[in-house]
A and B are shown apart, each in its own frame.
Chain A
């Protein structure tokens, strides 16, 4: 876990905070823009995360996976 790439949970939490700040209102233009852009980035990241979690289903016997791992490590 690094500071630059938040996890999905962190991203959702930050998004919630950003939307709450914007909905409360009273910000200047600069701040609004900055928050909007951060929110849009987080949304993109979350959607990417959803896509990353999609993948194939491997169903392997213990021996098969061990053999695969052994071959890959050589």
Chain B
């Protein structure tokens, strides 16, 4: 054999060669933690606790070992099982055999079958048009929510906590059912039926509560098998048939189940369902307060505008010809009293504020100012004077008092000290 560098050496002991191969093989990342699938053959569990088998398909096979306690082994795995394993390559030097060290092993037969039935159900529902059906709207303000989920589950605790934060007093009925295992499908369907009866107005009346108007059905995350009830036809059919909108809230975000596809609303998790359907009470109250305020302000302004129109009408009436005067007068009187009534109706206590406003308005009326001892000076062309600027000696001016006016003449002008 020729070594690297061209130096001829003696033959390499096979053990060393196998070691070299092993070092090369186990270092390759491609051969580490690979997910592999195939059929189990020569399945043998030894008293030592180690399990040996071969993983094969029509094109090839390899030996595999599950070291004692390395991972849980599903008891259903036997000769001929389809499995998925997570394994790394190893080389058993003493025998020169490549083998797989198994980190995890899962049977695929159950899941494979489940996936197949799910696919068929979805296809069937699509053909029937159920996936495109018009969804029921979710009420903005649910009066009575039914929550169908595992009693005492973490998902229920999460939902309750969120509701407490958003609207602690919101009426709700929790129906505790099994959400996994062989009886889950039946219990979920019965839970949906109970919610449906609670949505019946007569039943609700008898119980002294509003009918259920929204249903949340769900559970927290889990393995695909754990969530499987939500992929089965009876649950899907019960959701489709519901007269009340249904929110499907199953698992974690990545799980899409048949119940999600047929529900009126799909929430990614139970918590997400609460966030999407339970309003935040203080926000609702704030909105109503705001409307109340705006309604009052806008109405008062409209009344005020009407009052102004009335004043104009009144002014025009004074210069109107006598013909039709009485009728117009009557109109004004009616309008006037109606405005008064409306104002009282709308303003209530606010009317005092309006009266105060009117009082302050009249306080600044020029006439009132004159009554307090001030006078107003005008030029002969009617310009109101507020400065001596532009006044000439000998100019004629008019002095206005509260009870009359006087003509006067400028004798002298003088700036106040400190005035520019």
Q: Does B237 contact A (CB under 8 A)?
A: no
Q: Are A39 and B171 in contact (CB under 8 A)?
A: no
Q: Are B299 and A59 in contact (CB under 8 A)?
A: no
Question: How far apart are the CA atoms of A69 and B108 in the complex, in Å?
Answer: 42
Q: Does B220 contact A (CB under 8 A)?
A: no
Among the listed A8, A9, A39, A61, which residue makes an inter-chain contact with B295, where contact means beta carbons less than 8 Å apart?
A39
Q: Closest CB-CB distance, B412 to chain A, in whole Å?
A: 53
Question: How far apart are the CA atoms of A59 and B170 in the complex, in Å?
Answer: 13
Question: How far apart are the CA atoms of A3 and B174 in the complex, in Å?
Answer: 32
Q: Are A19 and B298 in contact (CB under 8 A)?
A: yes
For A61, the chain B residues whose CB sits under 8 A away are 151, 175-176
Question: How far apart are the CA atoms of A58 and B172 in the complex, in Å?
Answer: 6
Q: Does B20 contact A (CB under 8 A)?
A: no
Q: Are B176 and A60 in contact (CB under 8 A)?
A: yes
Q: Does B292 contact A (CB under 8 A)?
A: yes
Question: How far apart are the CA atoms of A73 and B197 in the complex, in Å?
Answer: 10
Question: How far apart are the CA atoms of A69 and B212 in the complex, in Å?
Answer: 14
Q: Are A52 and B143 in contact (CB under 8 A)?
A: yes
Question: How far apart are the CA atoms of A69 and B198 in the complex, in Å?
Answer: 8
For A33, the chain B residues whose CB sits under 8 A away are 342, 345-346
Q: Are A32 and B306 in contact (CB under 8 A)?
A: yes
Q: Are B144 and A59 in contact (CB under 8 A)?
A: no
Among the listed B141, B190, B292, B346, which residue makes an inter-chain contact with A9, where contact means beta carbons less than 8 Å apart?
B141
**Interface size of A in residues (CB-CB distance below 8 Å):** 41
For B285, the chain A residues whose CB sits under 8 A away are 50
Q: Closest CB-CB distance, B264 to chain A, in whole Å?
A: 15
Q: Are B173 and A22 in contact (CB under 8 A)?
A: no
Q: Which of B54-62, B96-104, B201-209, B357-365 contacts A (4 or more CB under 8 A)?
A: B201-209
Give the secondary structure class of B's interface: helix
Q: Are A54 and B140 in contact (CB under 8 A)?
A: no
Q: Which residue of B lies closest to A49 (CB)?
A: B141
Near B by CB (< 8 A), chain A positions 13-52 give: 15-16, 18-19, 22-23, 25, 27-29, 32-33, 35-36, 39-40, 43, 46-47, 49-50, 52
Q: Are A57 and B174 in contact (CB under 8 A)?
A: yes
For B114, the chain A residues whose CB sits under 8 A away are none
Near A by CB (< 8 A), chain B positions 121-177 give: 139-144, 151, 167, 169-177
For A18, the chain B residues whose CB sits under 8 A away are 295
For B409, the chain A residues whose CB sits under 8 A away are none
A and B contact pairs by CB, cutoff 8 A, 12 listed: A12-B140, A22-B295, A22-B302, A27-B302, A50-B285, A53-B141, A57-B173, A57-B174, A59-B174, A69-B198, A72-B203, A73-B203
Residues of A within 8 A of B (CB): 7-9, 12, 15-16, 18-19, 22-23, 25, 27-29, 32-33, 35-36, 39-40, 43, 46-47, 49-50, 52-62, 65-66, 69, 72-73
Given contacts A22-B302, A56-B171, 9 further A-B pairs with CB under 8 A are: A15-B291, A32-B303, A35-B299, A39-B291, A50-B288, A60-B176, A66-B194, A69-B194, A73-B203
